[in-house]
Amino acid sequence: MNDTSIYSLEASREKVAIHAFLQRVYLWMTIGIGLTAFVGLWASETHQVATYLTSSFTPMLVLMLATLGMVIVLSAAIHKLSAPTAMVLFLVYSVLEGLFLTPVFLIYTQASLFTTFICTASMFGAMTVYAFTTKRDLSGWGRFLFMALIGLIISMVVNIFFMKNGMMDLVLSGIGVVVFAGLTAYDTQKLIKNPDFLGIGFAKASILGALELYLDFINLFLYLLRFLGRRN
C-alpha cells in the first residue's frame, strides 16, 4: 500500500469517526432539549408544582444557581468525571432547566411556544449547515462572541433593574439572537474540526459538545420568543 492509499484510508477513518461523534452529540442535545420541554410543560400543567415554583422568588433562585453550578461542574471538572457520571449530570441539568423555564410555559401560549421552537430549529439548522459547508475559519469568532455575550448580559441586567426600557429590551433581544446564532456556527465548527477538543475522550466530549449546543439552542429560543411569543 502506497503513501497516498494510507493517507486516504486514514482520512476516511477520520471522517467516519467525526460523523459518529457528531451523531452522538446531536443525539444527546436532542434528548436534553426534549427532556427540558417535557419537564417544563409537565410542571406548568401541574398546579401544585407550578404554584410552588412561582409563589416566591426562592425556588427560582435555587434552580438558577443549581443549573449554573451544574454547567460549571460539567465544563470545568469534565476531566475528573467518568463518562456515565457526565451523562447523568447532563440529564439532571436538563430536568432542572425544564423546571427553571416553567414560568415561560405559563406566560406564553403553547401555540407561540411551538411556532418559536420551529423557528429556532430552522435557524439553528441553517447555522449548522453553514458551519459544515463554509470554508471560512470561524475560530476568530470565539473571542468576539464571548465579549458580546458579556456585554449583552450586563446591558440586560441594567435595563431590567434601572432603565426598564421596552424598546431597549427588543434591541438587546435582537442582539441576543445574532450572538447565539453565531455561537451555534462557531461551536459546531469547533466540534467538526476537533471532536475531542479537550483530550477527554469522545464519550465525555460528546456530552460537553451537546451541552454547548443545547445552551446555544435554548438561549436562541428564549431570545426569539421575545419577538414571536404571545402571552396568555
Domain hosting 137: range is 3-228
CA distance 167 to 144: 25
What was the pLDDT predicted at 153? Answer: 86
Q: Point out the residues of the chain with pLDDT beneath 50.
A: 2-3, 6-7, 9
CA distance 52 to 56: 8
Could you say which DSSP state residue 137 is in? -
Q: How far is CA 40 from the centre of its chain?
A: 16
Cell of 213: 449546543
What was the pLDDT predicted at 171? Answer: 86
What was the pLDDT predicted at 19? Answer: 82
Could you say which DSSP state residue 55 is in? S
Can you give the pTM of this predicted structure?
0.90
Number of structural domains the chain divides into: 1
Q: How far is CA 101 from CA 45, 182, 221, in A?
A: 13, 23, 12
CA distance 166 to 121: 26
What was the pLDDT predicted at 9? Answer: 45
What was the pLDDT predicted at 13? Answer: 61
Instruction: Return the half-sphere exposure (C-beta side, CA atoms, 13 A cut-off) of residue 161.
Output: 6
What was the pLDDT predicted at 89? Answer: 95
Burial of 115 (0-12, 13-18, 19+ CB in 10 A): middle
Cβ atoms of 194 and 76 closer than 8 Å? no
Cell of 66: 443549581
